[in-house]
Amino acid sequence: MVKNFSEMEKDILQKITPTSNERKTLNSIVQELTHLIQQKIREKNFPITTKLVGSIAKDTYLRTALDIDLFLLFPLTYSKQDLGSIAISIGEEILKNTEKCYAEHPYIRGNYQGFKTEIVPSYRIESSSQKLSAVDRTPLHTKYIQQELSESQKNDIRLFKQFLRGIGCYGAEAEVEGFSGYLCEILILKYNTFHNLVRSAQDWRVGTILSLSSDPGSVFATPLIFIDPVDAERNVASALSPEKFSFFVHACKAYVKKPGTTFFFPNPIQPWSLSQIKEKLRSKTIVGIQFSKPNIISENLFPQLRKATRSIQELCEQSNFTVYNTTFHLSPTNITIILDIKSERLSKTTKHLGPPITMKKNAEEFIQKWTSHPRAIAPPQVRNGRLFVTIVRKYSDIQPLLQENLNALSMGKHLDAIIKKKYFILTKEELVQKNLRLFWTENLDKKMPWGR
């Protein structure tokens, strides 16, 4: 099939497609690594086979971003604990700068000959019905794409992946909450070309269901649903957040209307001066919470960070503070959670509504509770047939609310431990600092990546 790529898209493909020499080098390194792993397996007399998976195995990788993913396939008789310990022991002998990671069972990642590498244990299965852990499907995914994908569609996949990278939507990991490589591949299988895909995606709505079969099967409560052709019980798009889904649809509309190189390679953000940031923030009320960054992998950190921002927002809203937005910033050593709020201070008193006077039992209980209550400034009264009482707020200033309650919030194991030790409440003036210039510019400028 002849692709109608524009000259601009052809130039992008030339930049991101591996050259023949790069392919030879990578293939040689993969063979060398596989041989070393198999050697260790033979030495230890394990009944394990190896399988190259991911974009390298499917030849859908970008020359500018690639990882080596090698799976160790175990018989079903092995325990998950054994899978993890064996894979880690082999990886520690071969890889450099190793890091132990955890999914349903441990695996290891590190560096081999300059390439990011993961060695992942899984069970050797023939169909998804045999799976004992989530990663067991991955070799089946690789086999499926290798069988179904045409040679010409590999360029469409590369172009689509670079498009997603350019707009910040590529990757299913917790840090991004975007499109996985496998989702990119089956989307091209679904729509055949990159152009068909972006044109069709303009009309996606929350709850869009896609499938490579006529029967979509299961339904999931996510913005996009794509039924896994290898496992009908799985939604391949489950990691895609509502924010990234909406942003992607918007980007597709913009690209169809006016294609450009900056969708694939956006211009870098030029940080504003501190005086510009101060001027933009002049009408806003901002409060920050800063604490040390735990030494954990991003897959564990980002879910806890999102949980923390939700918990803090809920705490503020329960005390009637209006929160417009919550964001966070990571530096190498610190985390800063930033609240954009209506006001730092509320009135000293508030009206607390009770039941209608027609609900006699509830009305009696309300009167009994609030008559002579230490926070009530007067006995309960009736207005428009409903009881109310004017009470002194427990917190009329957001800073004491945060200072006295952050320790009690549930933010995740690692963040809870750090916040119980030490944290700082920061004012707007303290948040306008040099190391946050890029953060504030990106958040306040509101330009799309392709429009910078």
Confidence band for 388, pLDDT divided at 50, 70 and 90: very high
In this predicted structure, what is the pLDDT of residue 65? Answer: 85
Q: Considering 243, 266, 289, which residue would you say is the last residue of a domain?
A: 266
Of the chain, the percentage scoring pLDDT greater than 70 comes to 98
Look at residue 129 and tell me if it is in a domain.
yes
Confidence band for 219, pLDDT divided at 50, 70 and 90: confident
- 6 and 110 co-located in one domain: yes
- 367 and 415 co-located in one domain: no
- Using DSSP's 3-state secondary structure scheme, residue 313 falls into helix
Look at residue 144 and tell me if it is in a domain.
no
- 388 and 400 co-located in one domain: no
Residue 123, by phi and psi: left (phi above 0), alpha (psi -120 to 50) or beta?
A: beta
- 289 and 428 co-located in one domain: yes
Q: Confirm if 388 and 353 have CB atoms less than 8 A apart.
A: yes
- 37-94 residue pLDDT tens: 999 999 989 999 999 999 999 999 999 888 999 999 999 999 888 999 999 999 999 9
In this predicted structure, what is the pLDDT of residue 250? Answer: 98
Q: Confirm if 450 and 260 have CB atoms less than 8 A apart.
A: yes
The token pair at 197 is 């895909």
**Which CATH number does the domain housing residue 381 bear?**
3.30.70.1550
In this predicted structure, what is the pLDDT of residue 2? Answer: 46
How much is the average pLDDT of 402-407? 94
In this predicted structure, what is the pLDDT of residue 446? Answer: 84
- 381 and 408 co-located in one domain: no
Q: Considering 83, 107, 135, which residue would you say is the last residue of a domain?
A: 135
In this predicted structure, what is the pLDDT of residue 286? Answer: 97
Look at residue 128 and tell me if it is in a domain.
yes
Number of domains, the chain: 4
- 241 and 286 co-located in one domain: no
In this predicted structure, what is the pLDDT of residue 104? Answer: 72
- 222 and 125 co-located in one domain: no
Question: If you search the block for the tokens 């806003």, which residue do you land on?
Answer: 284
**What is the rounded distance in angstroms from the CA atom of residue 353 to the CA atom of residue 134?**
49
- 8 and 58 co-located in one domain: yes
Q: How many CB atoms are located within 10 Å of the residue 373 CB?
A: 15
- Using DSSP's 3-state secondary structure scheme, residue 207 falls into coil
- 185 and 240 co-located in one domain: yes
In this predicted structure, what is the pLDDT of residue 1? Answer: 42
370 by Cβ neighbours in 10 Å (0-12 / 13-18 / 19+) ranks as buried
Look at residue 221 and tell me if it is in a domain.
yes
**What is the rounded distance in angstroms from the CA atom of residue 240 to the CA atom of residue 242?**
7
- 54 and 95 co-located in one domain: yes
Asked if pLDDT for residue 400 goes beyond 60, the answer is: yes
Confidence band for 132, pLDDT divided at 50, 70 and 90: confident
How much is the average pLDDT of 126-148? 89
- 297-323 residue pLDDT tens: 888 999 999 999 999 999 999 999 999
Q: Considering 111, 135, 159, which residue would you say is the last residue of a domain?
A: 135
Q: How many CB atoms are located within 10 Å of the residue 5 CB?
A: 17
- Write down the mean pLDDT value for the chain: 94
**What is the rounded distance in angstroms from the CA atom of residue 210 to the CA atom of residue 190?**
8
- 220 and 257 co-located in one domain: yes
The token pair at 415 is 């963040």
Look at residue 12 and tell me if it is in a domain.
yes
User: What is the DSSP annotation of 370-422?
Assistant: HTT-TTBSS--EEETTEEEEEEE-S-SBHHHHHHHHGGGS---HHHHHHHHH-
**Which CATH number does the domain housing residue 78 bear?**
3.30.460.10
Question: If you search the block for the tokens 């975007």, which residue do you land on?
Answer: 178
Residue 123: enclosing H or E segment and its boundaries? strand 115-123
**What is the rounded distance in angstroms from the CA atom of residue 239 to the CA atom of residue 171?**
9
User: What is the DSSP annotation of 149-200?
Assistant: --TTHHHHHHHHHHHHHHHT-B--STTT--B-HHHHHHHHHHHSSHHHHHHH
Q: How many CB atoms are located within 10 Å of the residue 282 CB?
A: 8
In this predicted structure, what is the pLDDT of residue 214? Answer: 66
Look at residue 140 and tell me if it is in a domain.
no
In this predicted structure, what is the pLDDT of residue 3? Answer: 66
Asked if pLDDT for residue 159 goes beyond 60, the answer is: yes
270 vs 129, higher pLDDT: 270
How much is the average pLDDT of 103-117? 90
Asked if pLDDT for residue 216 goes beyond 80, the answer is: no
Domain extent for 202 = 149-266
Q: How many CB atoms are located within 10 Å of the residue 294 CB?
A: 15
In this predicted structure, what is the pLDDT of residue 102? Answer: 80
Question: If you search the block for the tokens 């299961």, which residue do you land on?
Answer: 218
How much is the average pLDDT of 355-367? 95
Look at residue 16 and tell me if it is in a domain.
yes
- 231-256 residue pLDDT tens: 988 999 999 999 999 999 999 999 99
**Which CATH number does the domain housing residue 293 bear?**
3.30.70.590
Buried b (16+ CB within 10 A) or exposed e, 178-200: bbbbbbbbbbbbebebbbebbee
pTM: 0.90
Beta strands per DSSP E along 194-348: 208-210, 224-226, 285-292, 323-330, 334-341
- 327 and 419 co-located in one domain: yes
Look at residue 141 and tell me if it is in a domain.
no
Asked if pLDDT for residue 215 goes beyond 80, the answer is: no
